[in-house]
A and B are shown apart, each in its own frame.
Chain A
Amino acid sequence: MASSSRRAGFGRACLCAATIGILLVGSSDTGFPQDAAVIKVGAIVQLSGPAAFLGPSEEAAYRMAITEINKKGGLLGRQLELVVADDATDAATANTDAKRLINDDEVAVLFASSTSASREAILPVVTRNRKTLFFYDAIYEGHACDPHMYVMGEVPETQISPIVAYLQETMGGNSWYFVGDDYNWPHDTATIAEKAIPAAGGKLSGEKFVPIGTTDFSAILQDIASLKPKFVLLILLPSDAVAFMKQFHNQGLQKTVQPIATLVEQSAISAMGPASEGLLIPAGLFADSKPAAKTFEKAYQETLGVNAPKQNFIAINGYDALHLWALAVEKAKSLDLAAVSEALPTVSWDGPRGTVRYSAKTHHATFPIYLGRIGADGAPEVIKDFGPVDPGPQCSF
């Protein structure tokens, strides 16, 4: 862990040095023309702040895609160069990052793996500038729309709706309980789930929200013990999900109640220890879930090293989005905004999750969703493949 952080730090230092170098070269009038052959790709990721547990994987996802494209000769005969910015899980920083990447670095395209707050802070920069497309790559609450933006990530419609009927059918029972952190993603996810549950013949026993950073879940666990739902849906940030699961297990509730988590990755699963056994996770990517995922894992380790930050279903969105953009550029034979935007919905990419494509109508991506079950060894096993799940009418363009 320590060595990988140091490596990330070193990488960032190199990046800074490179950026300074470019700035120096770019600003000097004495010659050294800027390397026009390079296409700059901007990526805003969360290397520090509360979501820092995701940042290294997010950065690595973009780096992996860029390396693969460059190995095949680049794009339009030019090599790609990744310019990474850290938004520190902070909207104001994300806004500054976007301005710097677009105005100073003059990136050809902007990607962001960030919170919704950061996305909303980046969007005005993109729309005012009108030179780059913006790809938002993260699990989120859905229904964010902008003509310049394409979105890839699990939304409540793809993550919750498919599993409700399946779980009620295979596991019996139809009563549900939601526990969520008190901000917009959990609230919006709960709103979608509230509709999906009666539609599938289920009923909602209870729904409670907690402040972010809750350390004692005793009140919620007491509520669950008295309402006795069959399923409990966790719409919690990973740190809170870990605390919830550890206390849930310590109270022995896992014997009667089936927990389902929407936002936990490997680090959170291993932190739960024995409490993670039996936890269900609906998501797009599980290591070793499919031959494609295995092939990717092998190539990933060969390219970025065995100690590279582990990929997860959240970060992988960036990898697939960058490849789709590259395919659209190839097809449009230009970096022109309108041409790429037109080509984008017509291309599809077979990534580690399966086939991924953007919709012209909604600007949201369709990709396969799986249901993973955490085994006694802490490793997820795919118990159901829902195939490509359409996020539905997220937007209308």
Chain B
Amino acid sequence: MVLGTLNVLSAISLLFIAAIGLAVIFGVMGVVNLAHGEFIMMGAYASYLVTKMGYPVALAFIAAPVTVGLFALLLEPIFFRHIYGKVMESILATWGLSIALRQVFLLAFGSGYKSVPYPTDAAVNLLGTTFSLYRMLIMALAVLVWAGIMLVEHRTNLGAVARAVMNNAPLASALGVNTNRVYAGTLVFGAALAGLAGAVMAPLTSAYPSMGLNFLTNSFFAVLVGGLGSLSGFVFASASLGASNEVVAILVDPVWGSVVLVVVALVLVRLRRTA
């Protein structure tokens, strides 16, 4: 029971961390970033390179978001700037970007899997159950990321400007807010969060070119259920989808878990529409 509860919490945290970058970019800019999975993949490769160069794997949790954030910053003027607010165009363009990124990494690193060690192999003892310390740290990180975004969104000037652009971009622009700069900032922030997700996932799975696709679907559902531009809605979506998936996976099996995730997502989206 204790182990089950911890596993459900860790599943929720993993889904939250995997999807938060997608939610930020979609929420503020209306860009459905289908290259989100590849951003995660790039974060995982950044972790691999950090450990391969002999640095401690903990450094990857800084290096991966910085690398992917910088990459998004470079792509902003030539790619993302042209698809802000265009949902359909952004789906097509970012899907193309994702294919290109997968192939570039396949050519650069080969098709093999790259190992990233765990920062810690220790286990903690909780109410008589031993549980992976790394998974406990992931839960803590998820809470930290949530709290961090909440603080930025509601307690800083930056957050206020971002919310203004999110609610009414033309009006914010008329009031002297440089919306393009807000968009660029949000893009980099969202990409950095995807890079962080890559660093989190890499020890669990290893890094390989096509790994991003495994994260894209569930992240996409979480964002759909969470709705546009609401952090609390997104937290609720991660929790309900992550929990229903994991509970069914434990009680029945993971195949049914993945089916239930989609069903719950459909029901929640439908309920939200009618409400």
Contacts and interface: CB of A to CB of B under 8 A. Distances in A.
B114 interface: yes
Nearest to B18: A215
A205 interface: no
Interface stretch (B153-161, B176-184, B211-219): B211-219
Given A6-B107, A52-B106, A252-B130, A272 B254 contact: no
A267 B203 contact: no
Interface in B120-134: 121, 123, 130, 132, 134
Contacts of A219: 7, 246, 249-250, 253-254, 257
B186 interface: no
B109 A2 contact: yes
B204 A216 contact: yes
A249 B115 CA distance: 14
A218 interface: yes
Interface string A151-193: 0000000000000000000000000000000100000000000
A247 B109 CA distance: 24
A256 to B, nearest CB: 12
A2 B214 contact: no
Nearest to B249: A219
Contact of A225 (B3, B117, B118): B3
B14 interface: yes
Contacts of B201: 215
A213 B214 contact: yes
Contacts of B106: 5, 48, 52
A270 B250 CA distance: 29
B114 to A, nearest CB: 6
Interface in A27-44: none
Given A225-B3, A272-B115, A50 B210 contact: yes
A213 B246 CA distance: 15
A242 B204 CA distance: 9
Contacts of A247: 132, 204
Interface residues on chain A, size class: 35 or more
Contacts of B203: 246, 250
Given A215-B204, A273-B117, A210 B253 contact: yes
Contact of B254 (A56, A220, A246): A220
Contacts of A242: 113, 115, 205-206
Contacts of B78: none
A219 B244 CA distance: 12
Contacts of B254: 208-211, 214, 219-220
Interface string B182-224: 0000000000000000000101111010110111000000000
A349 interface: no
The B interface, classified by DSSP as helix, strand, loop or mixed, is helix
Contacts of A252: 123, 130
B208 A239 contact: yes
A271 interface: yes
A216 B11 contact: yes
A238 interface: yes
Contacts of B215: 215
A1 B117 contact: no
A243 interface: yes
Contact of A271 (B3, B11, B14, B206): B206
B118 A250 contact: yes
A78 to B, nearest CB: 35
B255 A211 contact: yes
Contacts of A342: none
Contact of A238 (B10, B109, B113, B246): B113
A271 B250 contact: no
Interface string A195-220: 00000000000001111011110111
Contacts of B258: 211
8 contacts: A4-B110, A208-B254, A213-B213, A215-B215, A216-B10, A239-B205, A239-B210, A272-B115
By Cβ-Cβ distance, the 8 closest A-B pairs, closest first, are A271-B113, A219-B249, A267-B112, A1-B110, A213-B214, A210-B254, A243-B205, A53-B111
Interface of B: 3-4, 7, 10-11, 14, 106-115, 117-118, 121, 123, 130, 132, 134-135, 201, 203-206, 208, 210-211, 213-215, 246, 249-250, 253-255, 257-258
Given A215-B211, A247-B204, A273-B115, 6 more contacts: A53-B113, A56-B111, A214-B214, A218-B7, A218-B10, A246-B205
